[in-house]
């Protein structure tokens, strides 16, 4: 390692890679965090793994990290709660701040913000135990998608093709969340757009198309199967690629995201119109993950991507 690189690595100080956690996505987070720590260490950075699911905030404070890379997914890591603790502890961190993380984790609030900003997202209804399920089916049409709004990695999601199946789908999602989101089903191709940076400097990476077996991009097909196919850059007309990247960056900015993130998009088959599904403010960094794939298409290695994200770590609240 030459002197300039060694000096740069030392400038980051003692780095904590926060991984594991207590969410339903713990297994994926362990893979992400392990990969990130190894990548940073390969660049000479003093990176140390810290499992927030097994160790306390007092232990985190005692480690005296100069900054942390958040490689947690789901609740208690991606939802603003950890970000608030890091602000109180005064530890600079990667990714979005408290508000953007909390809003991005809530698919219902995300939709409200996007619709207010004039951005396209599928029609939806919020369900509870008293909801008129037949009326929801009549309004949104069938099939529709039912999901818990605070989970990720397709956990608790059901595709409902007949009205009689909506109650069972609701029960699955309600077991994981207080509110349940029913969403219009968009028939078409599935894409994702990674975004790096903040504000006016936020930029989209090449679009990735996801082609899962039988169109089922579930937890297994996301992280463990080799049957899902990915195309990056996606084979799209230039103007459609540009539009998809534009709305992804606008969606990211509308929520106040920063550092890095990933916006999932569906392209409706009948009119080639893109629809925003959700934003991930702490995306996966595993061997199957899509942000590293998009970065590679620009010639950015996994290791360099990790360093770029780490370099953006900061406290978001003014003292």
Active site residues per annotation: 25, 153, 223, 262, 264, 278, 280, 284
Give the span between the Cα atoms of 199 and 311, in whole angstroms.
16
Cα–Cα distance measured from residue 319 to residue 317, given in angstroms and rounded to the nearest whole number: 6
User: Residues 23, 113, 209, 143: is their CA dihedral positive or negative?
Assistant: positive
Neighbour count for residue 220 (Cβ, 10 Å): 14
CA-based torsion, 17, 85, 318, 95: positive or negative = positive
State how far the Cα of 105 lies from the Cα of 113, in Å rounded to an integer.
13
**Burial state string for 264-295 with b = 16 or more CB within 10 A and e = fewer than 16:** bbbbeeeeeebbbbbbbbbbbbbebbbbbbbb
Whether the Cβ atoms of residue 284 and residue 73 lie closer than 8 Å to each other: yes
Which residues, including other chains, have CB under 8 Å from residue 79's CB and lie 6 or more apart?
Answer: 101, 102, 105, 106, 150
- Contact, 205 vs 295, CB < 8 A? yes
14-19/46-51 β-pairing = parallel
How many whole angstroms separate alpha carbon 132 and alpha carbon 237? 42
Q: Please report where in the chains the tokens 């905030």 appear, as a residue.
A: 57
With 0-12 / 13-18 / 19 or more C-beta atoms within 10 angstroms meaning exposed / middle / buried, residue 66 is: middle
190, with CB counted inside 10 A (0-12, 13-18, 19+), is middle
Helical axes 98-105 vs 107-116, angle rounded to 10°: 100
């Amino acid at each position: 390692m030459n002197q300039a690189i060694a000096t740069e690595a030392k400038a980051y100080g003692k780095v904590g890679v926060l991984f594991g956690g207590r969410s339903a996505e713990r297994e994926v987070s362990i893979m992400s965090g392990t990969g990130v720590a190894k990548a940073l260490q390969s660049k000479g950075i003093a990176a140390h793994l810290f499992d927030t699911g097994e160790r306390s905030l007092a232990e985190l404070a005692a480690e005296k990290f100069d900054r942390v890379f958040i490689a947690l997914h789901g609740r208690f890591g991606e939802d603003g709660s950890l970000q608030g603790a890091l602000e109180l502890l005064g530890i600079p961190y990667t990714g979005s701040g408290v508000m953007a993380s909390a809003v991005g984790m809530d698919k219902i609030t995300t939709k409200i913000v996007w619709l207010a900003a004039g951005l396209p997202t599928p029609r939806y209804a919020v369900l509870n135990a008293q909801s008129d399920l037949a009326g929801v089916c009549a309004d949104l049409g069938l099939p529709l998608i039912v999901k818990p709004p605070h989970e990720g990695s397709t956990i608790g999601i059901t595709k409902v093709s007949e009205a009689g199946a909506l109650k069972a789908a609701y029960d699955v999602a309600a077991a994981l969340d207080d509110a349940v989101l029913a969403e219009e089903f968009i028939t078409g191709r599935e894409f994702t757009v990674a975004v790096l940076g903040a504000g006016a400097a936020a930029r989209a990476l090449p679009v990735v198309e996801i082609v899962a077996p039988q169109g089922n991009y579930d937890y297994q097909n996301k992280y463990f199967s080799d049957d899902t196919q990915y195309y990056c850059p996606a084979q799209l007309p230039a103007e459609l690629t540009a539009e998809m990247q534009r709305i992804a960056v606008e969606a990211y900015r509308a929520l106040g995201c920063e550092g890095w993130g990933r916006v999932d998009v569906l392209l409706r088959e009948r009119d080639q119109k893109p629809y925003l599904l959700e934003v991930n403010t702490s995306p996966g960094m595993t061997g199957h993950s899509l942000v590293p794939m998009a970065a590679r298409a620009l010639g950015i290695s996994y290791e360099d991507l990790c360093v770029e994200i780490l370099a953006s770590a900061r406290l978001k609240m003014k003292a």
